[in-house]
Amino acid sequence: MGSSDDTSAVESHRGAFGDFGGEERAFIDRTFRERIVLVGVTLPSGSPEETDAALDELTALVDTAGADVVARVVQRRDAPDPATFIGKGKTTEVRSESDSHDADTVVFDDELSPAQQANLDKLLGRTAIDRTAVILDIFAQNAHSQEGKAQVELALLQYRLPRLKGSKRFSQQGGGIGTRGPGETQLEVDRRRIERRIHKLQAQLRNVQGHRRTQSKQRRRTANRGVSIVGYTNAGKSTLLNSLTDAGVLTENRLFATLEAATRQLQLPGGEKVFLTDTVGFVKKLPHQLVQAFRTTLDVVVDADLLVHVVDASAADPQSQIDAVRAVLHEIGAETVPELIVFNKIDLADAPETLLRHHEGSQAVSALTGEGLEDLLNTIGDRLAVMNAVVDVIVPFGRGDVIAELHRSGQVLSETATPTGMQYRARLDQFSLGRLREFVIEESIVPAEGQAPGRSHVTSVDGAAT
């Protein structure tokens, strides 16, 4: 196909992958499985092995999106080409490979600039998109709740806005003050329409975020702590939530099966009740637009008392997945929340004990078979317990209600009879500590590992500071 036919080739090509539907639609209908050519580039910061692993994952993403990979093209470069990312010669090779496989779309593992994407469309004679577009596509297909759809549509529009293509058509607005000549180009009309929609969605999600923060404050006024399950996509987070709480959340062996946060109450072995929340899975090179759009959902991660970081122990490179998840946690401001690494799918892993040795304090489970879940619950309880204050209290004889409250709300470490009442040493969360403050005689905060113990204050039996 000659270069003079490049533009018509793109317009007439049957592939619509990455097109994201019409102006008013944010979600894609699949009428056939497109044929896809993948392109991966190894830069000095990476290696050919890492590029192959990234293309393996991109193959799984494309399959999840509903298309088939028919070929791969790889390249080593010192730096991306400003015009086409891969350079003119490699672009010709990719075109030849795409033509020989009758490919509909070319997908690049690295993010393309709007100019690079436009140039590649013309030179390849078919749509060129990047990993970001594939992930947005999958999210668009899997979003079901009103909030999820709004978050995905916002990310789609933010991605599409700088990639709008010009049109020679003009709107039918007449000229006048504040207009440009006889009317605006269709491109300007489309841009303004998308910008208005973006602002509307942002306002809608800010409202949702306000409601979530109110709910979070209400939860923190109770004795229940919040535990969030985080991890790489398809690591088994939803299966773990179901196994621990009988939540009934949909589980599928595919990427990004869960986009909606699900919260259930979980009772720990010591009797303490916590709120356990399953969250959207992360992935390498997770689009920045999605991270920003899903901030309302991810607030539950930032506000959590403990993160249960689920890792697929059977994955080819679990450590790279751990690093990818931690990168997203850092981006959303959750890097300081205490983390418990849980290696899942140990029934499929070759040597889970090696992973445990490299991550001190981690747990190994199979959410599917139930192996290790009892130990996990005990560990969650222990990790939450050490965050509490250790206090000494004296409860007068005859105050059985206070003694019962102490056992119900905290962890009693010791008890001793004194002339004025029963003296207890116990761990209490801040809410329970506030309710029992008048009986506290000594309080200390248990330090994190490696820190020296500290003491906050000492009070008399009536609550006055001494």
What are the start-end ranges of the E strands in 279-344? 306-312, 339-344
16, 49: one domain: yes
At 466 the pLDDT is 31
233, 379: one domain: yes
In order of 66, 174, 191, 445, 454, the CA distances from 451 in angstroms are 51, 72, 55, 11, 9
Per the structure block, which two tokens stand in for 456? 């906050």
374, 402: one domain: no
At 109 the pLDDT is 96
What is the distance between the alpha carbons of residues 460 and 466, in angstroms, rounded to a whole number? 7
What are the start-end ranges of the E strands in 84-210? 105-108, 127-130
CATH of the domain at 288: 3.40.50.300
94, 112: one domain: yes
CATH of the domain at 414: 3.30.70
At 219 the pLDDT is 58
Counted domains in the chain: 3
> Which pTM was predicted?
0.73
What is the distance between the alpha carbons of residues 443 and 391, in angstroms, rounded to a whole number? 4
For residues 154 and 148, the answer to whether their CB atoms sit within 8 Å is no
437 burial via Cβ count (<10 Å: 0-12, 13-18, 19+):
middle
For residues 120 and 91, the answer to whether their CB atoms sit within 8 Å is yes
CATH of the domain at 61: 3.40.50.11060
Domain range for 453 is: 388-458
Amino acid (1-letter code) at residue 437: R
- Helices (H) and strands (E) counted in the chain, each on its own, are 15, 15
SS3 206: helix
At 234 the pLDDT is 87
Domain contains 160: no
At 280 the pLDDT is 84
What is the distance between the alpha carbons of residues 66 and 235, in angstroms, rounded to a whole number? 21
Domain contains 201: no
Domain contains 79: yes
At 272 the pLDDT is 80
What are the start-end ranges of the E strands in 209-329? 225-231, 262-267, 273-278, 306-312
Per-residue pLDDT of the chain (466 residues; tens, 9 = 90+): 444 445 444 445 555 554 543 333 433 346 778 999 999 999 999 999 999 999 999 999 999 888 999 999 999 999 999 999 999 999 999 999 999 999 999 999 999 999 999 999 999 999 999 999 998 888 888 777 788 888 889 989 999 899 887 544 444 444 444 444 455 577 888 889 999 999 999 998 888 877 767 766 665 555 578 899 999 988 999 899 999 988 666 556 666 766 667 888 898 887 788 899 988 888 888 888 788 777 777 888 988 989 999 999 999 899 999 999 999 999 989 998 999 999 999 998 888 888 999 998 999 999 999 999 999 999 999 888 777 778 888 999 888 888 888 887 777 888 899 988 999 888 777 777 777 888 888 665 444 443 333 333 333 333 333 3
